[in-house]
Amino acid sequence: MSEPQPDAPILYEQDGAVVTVTMNRPEQMNNFGGGLFQALGEAATRFYEDDSARVLILTGKGKAFCAGGDLKTIENRLRTQDAPPARSPEAQRRSYFQNEKFTRRTNIYKPMIAAVNGYCFAGGLELALTCHFIVGSESSEYGVLNRRWAVPLVDGGTYRLPLWVGAGNALYLIQTGKRIGVEEAQRMGLVQEIVPDAELMTRARELAAVMAAVPQSGLTGDTEAALRGFGRTYDEGLALEAVIGSTTQISGEALGRFVQKGYDPDTGT
């Protein structure tokens, strides 16, 4: 297992094929200050480029998963009228369309689990939605609380949230800014599993271990087809699935174990 740096804004730890990324600003509810957001982007790139890393678990240290933006910094900038440095139109386009922010990555098809351990608000909810599904602790809470200060969703919330929970539920959360518990979040389809607080990481690692053990080509191929299919027409989505599926390498070794009745029903190993 790799050794984390205890004072870093995130902790990146790899145990076998499973990477755990822990947001490490507990006193600030793991908000985006202190270089955390940039560090998350670097962690996503590291995970993406490392063939030995098969599954990522994203979680937070302390009582918050992530409370979103650094509101004190935003307020100070507005109060002092300290505008960010001017950038050319070309630089702005690169920032929006060619950056490697965690929430802008759309090409990671290796599984990413959000293990939500507490407050998951505003930009923190957008981080969770960047992952592929959510395991929530019994005490976890969710909401678009940035509605209270007219701070917009700019990290995928307005796109991903309706995909996860449907238009009505998404607009209900976006417009009311309501803070909801994990059971209501699961009812909406936002959270896939609820576990006791003390068992959150154990359960996330159990799921990660299964996904890391199965043949990877089918898992990542089907994930790619699902993610690339969002927003496409019916015909386009089926054609895309057919292209990706026809180029996926089926595991003859795993099938052989199945035929010979010598396989693990969860992983095929």
Is the same domain home to 233 and 180? no
Q: What residues pair up with 94 in beta bridges, in sequence order?
A: none
Residue at 267 is within a domain: no
Residue 218 to residue 177: CA distance in whole angstroms: 39
**Mean pLDDT for the stretch of residues 39-58:** 97
Residue at 225 is within a domain: yes
Q: Is the pLDDT of residue 4 over 60?
A: no
The burial of 88, by beta-carbon neighbours within 10 Å (0-12 exposed, 13-18 middle, 19 or more buried), is given as exposed
Is the same domain home to 187 and 233? no
Query: What are 252-268's pLDDT values in tens digits?
Result: 676 667 667 766 777 66
Is the same domain home to 247 and 142? no
Domains: count for the chain: 2
Q: Is the pLDDT of residue 60 over 80?
A: yes
Is the same domain home to 228 and 255? yes
Is the same domain home to 186 and 205? yes
Residue at 110 is within a domain: yes
Determine the pLDDT at residue 1: 47
Q: Kindly give the interhelix angle for 234-246 and 216-229, rounded to the nearest 10 degrees.
A: 160
Expressed as residue numbers, the domain containing 223 is 216-259
Determine the pLDDT at residue 123: 94
Q: What residues pair up with 120 in beta bridges, in sequence order?
A: 66, 142
Instruction: Fill in the DSSP letter of residue 178.
Output: -
Is the same domain home to 220 and 131? no
Of all helices (H) and strands (E), which one includes residue 57?
strand 55-60
Those residues whose C-beta lies under 8 Å from the C-beta of residue 120, and which sit 6 or more positions away, are: 64, 65, 66, 128, 136, 140, 141, 142, 143
Is the same domain home to 135 and 246? no
Residue 236 to residue 54: CA distance in whole angstroms: 28
Whole-model pTM: value is 0.88
Residue with tokens 């200050």: 33
